[in-house]
Amino acid sequence: MPHTKTQLNCFDLPEMQLVENRLKEINTYDNPYLSEVTGYILSQGGKRIRPLLVLLCSDIYGANLKTRVDVAVAAELIHSASLLHDDVVDNSSLRRGQPSANKRWSNPTAVLAGDFLFARAYGILSSYPHVLAIMTNAISTMCLGELNQLYTHFNPYTTPEDYVSTIISKTASLLAASCECGAVITPMPPGEIEVMRKFALHVGIAYQVLDDIADYVLDTGLTGKPQGSDIRNGIVTLPLMYLLANPGTRDRVQSLLQQKQPLEPKMLAPELAETGAIEKAAAIACHHLERGIELLNSFPPRPSVLLLETLTLQFIERCQTLLNYPPLTQDLRHPPQYTRP
């Protein structure tokens, strides 16, 4: 189904400014070193998708504004804490185009700052036990997903089932929890809450697949992190799985992985072109996004539901942009315009 470019900007939601204000307010501690590190990660902004999902889902049937903002802020604190830890695990040097916290300070500092943000989130959610239970379950699921990925580095026998399970755990679970938490603080019927959770899982899967594709085709200036960081660390994502599944490219790619040496996307440019791996991966992402939109049709056409659809359509636009991106072997000095949703 063709889609036209969306006009609404979900991120202009007035409540989002309340979330930003609250994040600044709570980032005041007696310890100046801590506030510098946590302020650094929080001020980098990012897309704020998780708090946005909380706010939109909690607006469908209506909820107390303070509660909505509290839960949205906690969702962003949890996400930011996980980023601090992820950069340590991945030994990343960049985050959102800036030096990562572990690079700027140290691994111990980044880990402890992440722990502190988790604690601040728990403190906020302690007033909402049901929401706290959902979020803590999501955090444990995220940790399991990251562990599963860590122990499958350079594994050419990673299955599609392994991959989907991992990205649901490490990425989609927090998106789903954000939607579910936004829903449970409202009078939304339980059946619709479950549909909303499934919507978020589909969007979360697509979101991670698109991020995995970007690792192959977009340079650092567009993604804010080093190009090829996944493949360099031996992470087997969907584009690479298509190369492993193709009889004509399997042997070389499998041999490269078994050497457990850092790889670069351009090393696999011929195989990516031959198999259409990027296009196939993008098609999978678009399928999940279309499925998410279908699930939204079960909700009343209220403004927040329409904004959730708009957000999903923005990801479909991103998917189509990545499909049109030039192959790695072409001159990337003048790439087509790319807009992060």
Given a cut of 90, is residue 226 above it in pLDDT? no
Domain span at 69: 10-323
Query: Binning pLDDT at 50, 70 and 90, where does residue 326 land?
Result: low
Burial class (CB in 10 A: 0-12, 13-18, 19+), 334: exposed
Residues 243-269, buried b or exposed e (16+ Cβ, 10 A)? bbeeeebeeebeebbeeeeebebeebe
* Mean pLDDT across 149-178: 92
DSSP 185-250: TTT--HHHHHHHHHHHHHHHHHHHHHHHHHHHH--HHHHSS-TTHHHHTT---HHHHHHHHSTTTH
Query: In terms of residues, how long is the chain?
Result: 341
Burial of 290 by CB count in 10 Å (0-12 exposed, 13-18 middle, 19+ buried)?
middle
Give the C-alpha separation, 281 to 289, whole Å.
13
Q: Is the pLDDT of residue 220 over 80?
A: no
Contact 121, 77 (CB under 8 A): yes
Examine residue 81 and state whether it is found in any structural domain, yes or no: yes
Flag whether pLDDT at 7 surpasses 60.
no
Does residue 332 lie within any of the structural domains? no
Considering the chain, what percentage of its residues have pLDDT values greater than 90? 55
309 part of a folded domain: yes
Is residue 153 included in any domain, yes or no? yes
Query: Which of 7-16, 40-49, 286-295 shows the lowest per-residue confidence on average (mean pLDDT)?
Result: 7-16
Residue 1 pLDDT more than 50?
no
**Residue 329 resides in a domain:** no
Q: What is the mean pLDDT of the chain?
A: 86
Residue 221 is predicted with a pLDDT of 56
pLDDT (0 to 100) of residue 95? 76
In a domain, 122, yes or no: yes
| Over residues 287-293, mean pLDDT | 95
Could you give the number of structural domains in the chain?
1
Q: Which of 52-66, 195-209, 322-336 has the lowest mean pLDDT?
A: 322-336
The pLDDT value recorded for residue 115 is 94
The per-residue pLDDT for 237 is: 92
Radius of gyration of the chain (CA): 20
Per-residue confidence (pLDDT) for residue 333, from 0 to 100: 33
Q: Which of 46-55, 93-102, 222-231 has the highest mean pLDDT?
A: 46-55
Is the pLDDT higher at 320 or at 304? Answer: 304
Quote the pLDDT of residue 88. 87
- Answer yes or no: is 45 within a domain: yes
Q: How far apart are CA 264 and CA 79, in angstroms?
A: 28
The predicted model gives 251-266 an average pLDDT of 85
Sign of CA dihedral 13, 14, 19, 21: positive
Nearest to 231 by CA among 204, 218, 252, 212: 212
Between CA 169 and CA 205 the distance in angstroms is: 10
**Looking at the predicted structure, is the pLDDT value of residue 222 above 80?**
no
pLDDT tens readout for residues 100-150: 888 888 899 999 999 999 999 999 999 999 999 999 999 999 999 999 988
Quick count: other Cβ atoms within 10 Å of Cβ 276? 14
Sequence-distant (6+) residues with CB within 8 A of 207 are 49, 171, 172, 175, 315
| CATH code for position 190 | 1.10.600.10
SS3 133: helix
Whole-number pLDDT of residue 330: 40
Residue 304 has pLDDT above 90, yes or no: yes
Condensed to tens digits (0 to 9), the pLDDT of residues 40-70 reads 888 876 789 999 999 999 999 999 999 999 9
Phi, psi for 99 (deg, rounded to 5): -55, 135
Residue 340 has pLDDT above 70, yes or no: no
Q: Which pLDDT value is given to residue 331?
A: 38
- Please report whether residue 181 resides in a domain: yes
C-alpha atoms less than 13 angstroms from C-alpha of 234 in its C-beta half-sphere? 20
